[in-house]
Structure 1
Amino acid sequence: MGPRNALAASNEESTLKLTPEICITGDENQACEIRIELQWRLAKNELVCILSDNNAYPKWCSESPEQHEITMNVSTLSDIHFVLVSKETNQTLAGAKLKITSTSQPQVRRRYRNPWSLF
């Protein structure tokens, strides 16, 4: 019948919510240690897995379609990107990012001019 069916499949999007989204450390060389909560809402109830781009946090998969959140302790020096995928099809459903910010500014950013001068 045409492209209408593709649009009718689902107008509700799956979402992945991360709380909190930002972790502030005192020093850029200091690991951020934080307890985070990942909550997801799905277009259709299904088993999901959560992957991250940090090897310290391997793939986690839900055992029940009724589960919609997990809590984990994280210790990291860099941002972590979490991706929610369908356990059945491995299709990406949603993503969320934990941003790490340090209160100390690196020295390099303060140097606006070259330290040498020809004149």
Structure 2
Amino acid sequence: MRAGRSAACLLALFGLCSTPLFAAATDPADEDIKLEISPRICVLKKGDQQCEIPVHAQWRSPREESLCLVILTRPDVKRCWENYTQGTYTIGLTFADDLTFQLRDVSLEHVVASEVLRVIREALRYRHKRRQPWNIFD
């Protein structure tokens, strides 16, 4: 009976000690900041030189953040939020090459999230044409 009681006390003590560790590991404040852009791909048809589309960027954080959205090759595009848990930004863009969107701290020194809008050129050139297989019995 005494051994059973000791084991129960040890299990209870272990459970009490491990609960804060488990809670800290699953704390929402430990989650990363999420950045999403839409669309993620622009397909140029044959003869097109540039993409001309509206781009929608959205970010979320489990806690209030002060962040800026920038496009690496476009220093004229910068949108900042102070003490927000989420933000959205829509902009019409004309571009010929991939664009990298970065979510940075307000001082613009630390990148917290990044997404790339890819440009695909002449997708039809790389597509295989379907053909009928050989049939020697026809």
TM-score (norm 1): 0.69
Match among 61, 70, 73 for residue 80 of structure 2: 61
- Closer, same or farther in 2 for the Cα pair 1:12/1:77, shift >3 Å? same
Q: Percent same amino acid among aligned pairs?
A: 25
Unpaired segments of 5 or more residues in structure 1?
107-119
Higher relative contact order (CA 8 A, sep 6+): 1
In the alignment, does 2:26 pair up with 1:26? no
Residues 66-109 of structure 1, C-alpha deviations (whole Å, 9 max, x = no match)? 65111011110000001001215742111111001123549xxx
Please tell me whether the aligned partners of residues 61 and 86 of structure 2 are also in contact (alpha carbons under 8 angstroms): no
5 Å matches for 1:88-107? 90-104=109-123, 105=125
Give the Cα–Cα distance (whole angstroms) in 1 for the partners of residues 52 and 35 of structure 2: 21
Residues 35-89 of structure 1, C-alpha deviations (whole Å, 9 max, x = no match)? 1110001142122101112226432212562651110111100000010012157
In the alignment, does 2:58 pair up with 1:39? yes
- Closer, same or farther in 2 for the Cα pair 1:28/1:48, shift >3 Å? farther
Give the Cα–Cα distance (whole angstroms) in 1 for the partners of residues 30 and 77 of structure 2: 31
Give the Cα–Cα distance (whole angstroms) in 2 for the partners of residues 99 and 18 of structure 1: 11
Please give the root-mean-square deviation of Cα atoms over the aligned residues, in Å. Answer: 2.8
- Which has a greater percent of helix? 2
Please tell me whether the aligned partners of residues 29 and 77 of structure 1 are also in contact (alpha carbons under 8 angstroms): no
TM-score (norm 2): 0.60
Residue correspondences, number: 101
- Closer, same or farther in 2 for the Cα pair 1:89/1:54, shift >3 Å? closer
Aligned to 2:90, the other structure's residue is in SS state: strand
**Aligned residue in 2 for 1:72:** 91
- Which has a greater percent of strand? 2
Unpaired segments of 5 or more residues in structure 2?
1-20, 127-138
Greater Rg by CA: 2
